[in-house]
C-alpha cells in the first residue's frame, strides 16, 4: 500500500497554522477497492468520462454507467487513489491483464495520479492491453508514454456502437529488458 505524508505525523509542531486551526497533513494512498467506494468511484467516472468521452451519445454513455452500476467495478480487480479521505481516481483490471478502465477526477488529471495508479496495478500484475476511444487523444498519449502501442483499430466499441477504438498493447518485460517476466 502506498502511503505518503508531506508532513510527519510525529512532528505536529512542523504543521503550518492557518488562522486558529492547525492544518492537517496531506496524505494519499492507493488501496484495494471496497464496495463502500462505489459512489465515490461513480462520481469520478461521471466527471472524467463526460470530459474524455464528450463525443459519446447520451444513450451510449448511460449504458456504460449502467454497466459500472451493475458490478463492473467489483468483477474486476480495482484499486482506488485516495487523498485526504476522498477518492480521486481508480483503475480496474480484468483477470487477463486488460485495463478495463482508468479514471481520474478532472481536477487531478495531469498530476501524475493516473501514472501512479498504472504503476501500482503493474506491480501486482503485468498489464498488456487496453482499449481507448480513437477520439480520446489524451488517453492514447498517456498509454504511449507508458509503453503501449496501437495494435489494431476497431470501427466499433465493445457495445457495437460506431465509436472507433484503438486496441493498444505492450509486450511483457523479459530478461532482455532487465526485468523478470511477471505473469
pTM for this prediction: 0.76
Torsion angle in degrees (nearest 10) through CA of 56, 60, 62, 64:
-100
Alpha helices for the chain (secondary structure H): 38-52, 58-67, 73-75, 113-124, 137-145
Bridging pattern class, strands 149-154 and 165-169: antiparallel
In a domain, 16, yes or no: no
Question: Distance between CA atoms of 129 and 157, rounded to whole angstroms?
Answer: 15
CA angle 109, 67, 2 (to 5 degrees): 40
Q: Which domain holds residue 62?
A: 23-172
pLDDT at 16: 43
In a domain, 137, yes or no: yes
Give the up-direction half-sphere exposure of residue 81: CA atoms within 13 A in the CB hemisphere: 23
In a domain, 92, yes or no: yes
In a domain, 77, yes or no: yes
> What are 11-66's pLDDT values in tens digits?
333 334 444 443 444 688 999 999 999 999 999 999 998 888 888 878 878 888 87
Number of domains in the chain: 1
Burial of 135 (0-12, 13-18, 19+ CB in 10 A): middle
> What are 139-172's pLDDT values in tens digits?
999 999 999 999 999 999 887 888 899 999 997 6
Question: Distance between CA atoms of 10 and 56, rounded to whole angstroms?
Answer: 49
In a domain, 103, yes or no: yes
In a domain, 135, yes or no: yes
pLDDT band at 73 (very low <50, low <70, confident <90, very high): confident
In a domain, 11, yes or no: no
| Residues linked to residue 18 through DSSP beta bridges, in sequence order | 21
In a domain, 39, yes or no: yes
Instruction: Considering only residues 8 and 67, tell me which one the structure prediction assigns the higher pLDDT.
Output: 67
**CATH assignment at residue 92:** 3.40.630.30
Amino acid at each position: 500500500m502506498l502511503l505518503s505524508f508531506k508532513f510527519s505525523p510525529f512532528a505536529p509542531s512542523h504543521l503550518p497554522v492557518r488562522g486558529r486551526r492547525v492544518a492537517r497533513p496531506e496524505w494519499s494512498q492507493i488501496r484495494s477497492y471496497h464496495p463502500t467506494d462505489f459512489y465515490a468511484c461513480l462520481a469520478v467516472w461521471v466527471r472524467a468520462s463526460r470530459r474524455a468521452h464528450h463525443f459519446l451519445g447520451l444513450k451510449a454513455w448511460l449504458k456504460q454507467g449502467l454497466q459500472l452500476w451493475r458490478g463492473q467495478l467489483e468483477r474486476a480487480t480495482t484499486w482506488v487513489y485516495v487523498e485526504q479521505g476522498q477518492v480521486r481516481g481508480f483503475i480496474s483490471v480484468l483477470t487477463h491483464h486488460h485495463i478495463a478502465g482508468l479514471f481520474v477526477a478532472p481536477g487531478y488529471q495531469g498530476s501524475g495520479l493516473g501514472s501512479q495508479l498504472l504503476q501500482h496495478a503493474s506491480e501486482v500484475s503485468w498489464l498488456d492491453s487496453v482499449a481507448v476511444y480513437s477520439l480520446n487523444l489524451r488517453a492514447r498519449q498517456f498509454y504511449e508514454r507508458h509503453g503501449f502501442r496501437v495494435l489494431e483499430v476497431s470501427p466499433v466499441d465493445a457495445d457495437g456502437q460506431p465509436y472507433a477504438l484503438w486496441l493498444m498493447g505492450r509486450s511483457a518485460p523479459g530478461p532482455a529488458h532487465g526485468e523478470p517476466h511477471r505473469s
